[in-house]
Every structure is written in structure tokens, then in C-alpha cells.
Amino acid sequence: MAAANLSFIFHLPSSFPRLCGHPRVAPFPYSLFPLCSREELKEQLDALQCHFTWKMGIQVYNPQHLLQKLEIEINHTAHQNQVALLGLQAHLYQLNNQSAEALRSLRAAEEHNEQQEEAAATAGSVIIYGNYAWVHYLQGSYQEARSYLQRAQQLCPHPWDMRLIPHIQAQKGWSLLVIRAQNGDRARECFDLALMLEPDNRSFHTGLAMALYSSWKFSWQPDAASEATIHLERVVREQPNNYRAKIYLAQLLEHVAKERSIGLVEECAEESSDPEVLKLSIMFWIPRSTDRAVEIARRALEDDPGYHLLYQALAKSYKQQWLQANEEDKDEILDVAINHLQQIVQGHPDLDITIVKLQLAELIGERDPAREEEIYMELQEQSDTLSLRCRQGLLINWGKFLLYRRGSQDRAKAKFMEAYSIPMQTFQRRDCGRRLRRMAETYRRNGDAETADGIYRFLQEADRHLPGQNVPLGLEDGDQPPPAE
């Protein structure tokens, strides 16, 4: 295929590097690359294929959350994606102004890259060198940035090398999948493209299955579920120890093959050491058996006490266990839940566990409403460091507190409206919208049509400011299906 057509067919920019060569070739002498101005250097860096140019939709309100999640991905996923994940880790460290850690991640990526086949290793080096160049550029080390830019350019001085395109696209696809659920469609495009050029590559098929699952978690469309199921069945058949694929398949089969779904979840809970798989197992069991959910959560935290999303799952388990308990058991369960969650909050100040704090506040409020509101006010003072999702959670919890514990509909409305104004469509925001519409009808029934109309005008105006698609999800919003309208 002619090089001129590639950028059109594969949706690649015209400045995409022309690739060939081998990562262990020595760099060209500086004299072959005339020194460019800082502006020209930035322009050339923008043309590289690496994590700093892929526009993955990373929110930088709390990069520590993503770094903790990514650490689990690096340690526990069994796919050929370590170079991609370590490059992403370097990108996140640099966003967090941790340049030394970013460089350390890139050195680890180089070590992993040496173990790959030639085409994959060359593609990996293009991305690694691009990431190095960006880290040094952002540090102000322009000579180092030029050096790594030249190494990337050395690997691609000739027309297109078709062997490298699928591996670069696959690395981009793996990276997109870690960031957000709504990146599933973009990741799917990457793996579809990779498979066009290497249709028998098992790793690319695994990536496509994961991307299809992510797309389903974003859209909840039946057609997406069917396609993801077909591809995940293939992965599970070919890779019996791929517990990520098994827990994803279990979620897809939950309402169409209940017994098999439960069997897959139990196998994952007993055989997997991946805390993300265990977290999803906990979420599966919460509506079915809170005792089983708490059991898995406690065991998982003994093995991996640094994974903040396990604490969120445990907090949800405790609340559901308390709600479902018999009246004679409620006080004891509440005591255990509050005491354990307080220990978690006090013992892990370094973890992003805002959701756990919100759950703890709600449980404490059953006995001490004043202390519940104090926790909300304390979190409000830290709101600049909270992710958009956590800000929404805080405001919605606070609004429910004001409505149900303080009986102040006007103050609750103000909190719900503030939460709904945050331009990120999550299940929490949808719930907030339903609450505001119900409040509008209450105002109308009470003869206050002006306030009711004001709420509806506010909702329409806030929706106009939502970016992108209509239902983008947060990092953990895929834990459960969207609530019924």
C-alpha cells in the first residue's frame, strides 16, 4: 500500500514518523541534525508517537489516583503491554512533576522492551524515545530532549515500515484502556488497525476483547455486549489464567447465563491475586451476598493493602450489609463498619480514599449527624485537590444529608445544582438530575412554579456545557449498570 494513503486509512497524522530500523542502532551524530529553536523543537516533539501526544483524556486533578491504579495494571496484567503501561506511568509522573520517577519508569520500559521481538521492540523504542524527549523538554533540558528526538528520528528515516504500525497502535490502545471507560472506542480502533496488519497476533486479539468490554461499560448497548462476549470467550479459551478476561466475561454473562457467571466470579476470587479482579468480584457479590463480599474484600486487603479501590469496595459492602441486616444485628454491624473504616482512613493518609470517607460519614450520621456534616465541611476545604467525580460525590452526599437529616430542601437543592454543574456525566450526576427533577415537581405541587421552572432551565443550561459524548463515565462508574430511569 502506498505511504500516501496510510494516514487516511489509519487516521494517522501526516507527521507520523516513517518507521524502520532497530532500537539498538547507535544515534546519528548531532552534526546530521541541525540545532533547532525551542519552538521548532516543540513542533517536532508534537509530531512524535508517544504518550505525551496521544491525547488520552487524562484529568490531572489527582494523578495519584491513576498512578495507584496503574501500578496494579503493571504488576498484574498478563498481556504484552508492559512497555505501554510503563510509558503511561512516566507520563503520569511527569504530569505530577515527578521527573525522576518518570525517568525511572522509562528505564524500566527499556528493560522490558529488550525482551520483545524486533518489530515490537523497534516500535517500543520509538515511543520510549519520544517519552524521554518530552520529559527532558518539560524539565527544561533541551539538549537532552533533542538527543532523544534524534534517536526517535533515526529509527524512521525511510518510507513506511508496515511492521511497526500495528505495535505502535497496540501500545496506544493499551494505554487508552487504563485511563477511562469512554476510551474504549478509541482503543478498539487501535486494535482493529493492528489486527488488519497482523490478524493472528494473540496479544492484539486480547486487546480488542478488552476494548470491546470497555466500550460496553461505556454504552451499555446489547450489541456491544454480544460482540465483547464473543471476543472474551476466545481469550478465556486460549488463556485460561487470564482472570481479567474471566471477570469481564462474568459481568457480561450476569443476566444471560447466571450459573456460569457465578462460577467465573468464584474462580477469579479464589485463584486470582489481581486486586482489580478481586475488587470486581466484591462488586459482583454486594447485591447477592454482603457476607461474601466483605470476606473477599478483607482477604484481598491483607494481600494488597495499598490498593485504594479495594477500600471503596469494602465500604460499599459494609453499607449494604448494614442496610440488609435484621434489626437486632444492625447496631453491631454499624459498629464494625465505622470502626474499621475509621482505621482505614487514619492508617492510609497517602491513599486517595475520598469515597471511603464519604461512606464513613454517611454511616456515622446514623448516630451523630453533626459529625457527618463536619466531615463534609472538612472535605470541602480540600476540594481543589479532589477529582471531579469525588467532588460530585461530596456534594450529592451533602445534599442528601441536608434534605433528609436537616429537612432543608432549598439548601439541598443548592448542593445538587452545584454537583450537576460539574461537567462530567457520571451515574452520580444522572442520579442528581433525577433528584432535581423530583424536587421541581414538589415545588410545583406546592405552588412554587417559578422555582420549578428555574430548576428545569438550570438543567438544560448545565447539559449544554457537557463535553463530548452524552454519557462519559468516571474511573469506577463501570462498577454497576446505570440506574433505571
- What pLDDT shows up at residue 60? 58
Among 163, 179, 195, which residue terminates a domain?
Answer: 179
Three-class SS string for the chain?
CCHHHHHHHCCCCCCCCCCCCCCCCCCCCHHHCCCCCHHHHHHHHHCCCCCCCCCCCCCCCCHHHHHHHHHHHHHHCCCCCHHHHHHHHHHHHHHCCCHHHHHHHHHHHHHHHCCCCHHHHHHHHHHHHHHHHHHHHHHCCHHHHHHHHHHHHHCCCCCCCCCCHHHHHHHHHHHHHHHCHHHHHHHHHHHHHHHHHCCCCHHHHHHHHHHHHHHHHHHCCHHHHHHHHHHHHHHHHHCCCCHHHHHHHHHHCCCCCHHHHHHHHHHHHHHCCCHHHHHHHHHHHCCCCHHHHHHHHHHHHHHCCCCHHHHHHHHHHHHHHHHHCCHHHHHHHHHHHHHHHHHHHHHCCCCCCHHHHHHHHHHHCCCCHHHHHHHHHHHHHCHHHCCHHHHHHHHHHHHHHHHHCCCCHHHHHHHHHHHHHCCCCCHHHHHHHHHHHHHHHHHHHCCCHHHHHHHHHHHHHHHHCCCCCCCCCCCCHHHCCCCCC
Taking only the tens place, the pLDDT of each residue in 406-443 is: 999 999 999 999 999 998 878 889 999 999 999 999 99
**What pLDDT does 65 receive?**
75
pLDDT of residue 306: 86
C-alpha cell recorded at residue 255: 443476566
Predicted confidence (pLDDT) per residue in 257-306, tens digit: 999 999 999 999 999 999 999 999 999 999 999 999 999 999 999 998 98
Does residue 304 fall inside a structural domain? Answer: no
- Of 124, 149, 179, the residue at which a domain comes to its end is 179
Number of domains in the chain: 2
In-domain check, residue 222: no
Are 216 and 228 in contact by the 8 Å Cβ rule? The answer is yes
pLDDT value, residue 467: 67
In a domain, 97, yes or no: yes
Q: 362 in a domain, yes or no? A: no
Q: 168 lies in a domain?
A: yes
Residue 408 lies in a domain: yes
CATH of the domain at 147: 1.25.40.10
Is 256 inside any structural domain? no
pLDDT of residue 219: 80
The pLDDT assigned to 74 comes to 92
Residue 225 resides in a domain: no
Domain hosting 458: range is 368-485
**H or E element in which residue 403 lies:** helix 388-404
pLDDT in the model for residue 34: 53
Low-confidence ranges of the chain (pLDDT < 70): 1-36, 59-63, 156-161, 181, 467-485
**pTM for the structure as a whole:** 0.84
C-alpha cell at 375: 466531615
pLDDT on residue 25: 40
Using the 3D structure, point to which of 162, 179, 196 is the last residue of a domain: 179
Cell numbers linked to 47: 509530531
